[in-house]
Amino acid sequence: MENPSPAAALGKALCALLLATLGAAGQPLGGESVCSARAPAKYSITFTGKWSQTAFPKQYPLFRPPAQWSSLLGAAHSSDYSMWRKNQYVSNGLRDFAERGEAWALMKEIEAAGEALQSVHAVFRRPPSPAAPGRRRRSWRCSVSFVVRIVPSPDWFVGVDSLDLCDGDRWREQAALDLYPYDAGTDSGFTFSSPNFATIPQDTVTEITSSSPSHPANSFYYPRLKALPPIARVTLVRLRQSPRAFIPPAPVLPSRDNEIVDSASVPETPLDCEVSLWSSWGLCGGPCGRLGTKSRTRYVRVQPANNGSPCPELEEEAECVPDNCV
């Protein structure tokens, strides 16, 4: 398990990553035209976490461990390399990263692919941070893939798969993507704090939605929503600085643990009350010759939040004929 760096959550550190010059990026995925941009491009990436108790109130982790993000691990590469892909199986390295946050095997896989395919130009990594909305930046000169583990979780992550920054003969000036949770398909846990429960046989990468997995125990199960709000956002901006220019880091802002920074910009996701099934009816009590009463109870499993449906009555009585009248 990673130890989060509070300063990394809200601080903005722009780190220059000098990579091999990319002229033509090769044949993009989907059979699109070859990138013919000649001059190398350099981008900054800003990862903004939006995971908060307001946007995702159900089972939001408050301790042991609290909600947080793992290291951001990615690669600058051309189109013939894939770190991960929806509806495909993850590698052993990505499985270790998604389940336990261990990055060593995944970094070795990326480096090995770079040596074999000559398509991975660099590997980059950013320290972990709490889940409070905050930003982290890096820069590079190529297409990009990255993953960030959701902590705690069975094998859930967010990320970008092979984002092509080349548009014909020029580089895109900017790109912004909302990020949603994915299941790596290696652990069958339903909740953030589920114990290890290996998926056998291994499944493919699937997007987690408000209705899938369709189980009330799932931490992202919000049947009233058509879609989950984004749990993070990534913004890429083309830089104009010289590769040799010094880029001073932005001042580090103080940490506020896992509390949201700007509640006005965070959507409130309604969470309905959930109750248990009714218990068995109790004994019927009352005087002889008259109707008596019996009762049953249920308890609250999930407290409502953000104007969700309130809890119903937790106790119910009914008339009955006394079993042992007095």
Q: What is the pLDDT along the chain (326 residues), one digit of tens a residue?
A: 444 333 233 222 222 232 222 333 333 334 444 677 777 778 888 899 999 999 999 999 998 899 999 989 988 887 778 899 999 999 999 999 999 999 999 999 998 888 776 666 666 666 666 665 556 554 444 678 999 999 999 999 999 999 988 887 888 899 999 999 999 999 999 999 999 999 999 999 999 999 999 988 899 999 889 999 999 999 989 887 554 544 444 433 333 333 333 344 667 888 888 889 999 999 888 888 888 899 999 998 888 888 888 899 999 999 998 877 76
Q: Are residues 56 and 112 in the same domain?
A: yes
Q: Are residues 231 and 307 in the same domain?
A: no
Q: Are residues 176 and 95 in the same domain?
A: yes
Which CATH number covers residue 115? 2.60.40.2130
Q: Are residues 47 and 91 in the same domain?
A: yes
Going by C-alpha positions, the residue among 265, 255, 266, 260 that lies closest to residue 128 is: 255
> For position 4, what pLDDT does the model report?
39
Residue 247 near residue 259 (C-beta atoms within 8 A): no
Q: Are residues 299 and 203 in the same domain?
A: no
35 is a domain residue = no
* Domains: count for the chain: 2
> For position 119, what pLDDT does the model report?
64
Q: Are residues 165 and 313 in the same domain?
A: no
98 is a domain residue = yes
> For position 324, what pLDDT does the model report?
73
Cis peptide bond upstream of 201, omega within 30: yes
> For position 301, what pLDDT does the model report?
84
208 is a domain residue = yes
> For position 15, what pLDDT does the model report?
26
Q: Are residues 199 and 293 in the same domain?
A: no
Which CATH number covers residue 298? 2.20.100.10
DSSP state of 264: G
Q: Are residues 232 and 302 in the same domain?
A: no
> For position 25, what pLDDT does the model report?
33
> For position 142, what pLDDT does the model report?
66
> For position 253, what pLDDT does the model report?
38
Dihedral sign for Cα 22, 163, 94, 47, please. Answer: positive
Q: Are residues 199 and 52 in the same domain?
A: yes
Task: Give the CA distances from residue 316 to residues 28, 281, 297, 324, in Å, rounded to whole numbers and listed in that order.
Answer: 64, 9, 6, 21
Q: Are residues 196 and 308 in the same domain?
A: no
13 is a domain residue = no
244 is a domain residue = no
Q: Are residues 61 and 159 in the same domain?
A: yes
101 is a domain residue = yes
Q: Which domain holds residue 298?
A: 274-320
Return d(Cα 71, Cα 147) in angstroms, integer: 8
> For position 128, what pLDDT does the model report?
64
Q: Are residues 173 and 303 in the same domain?
A: no
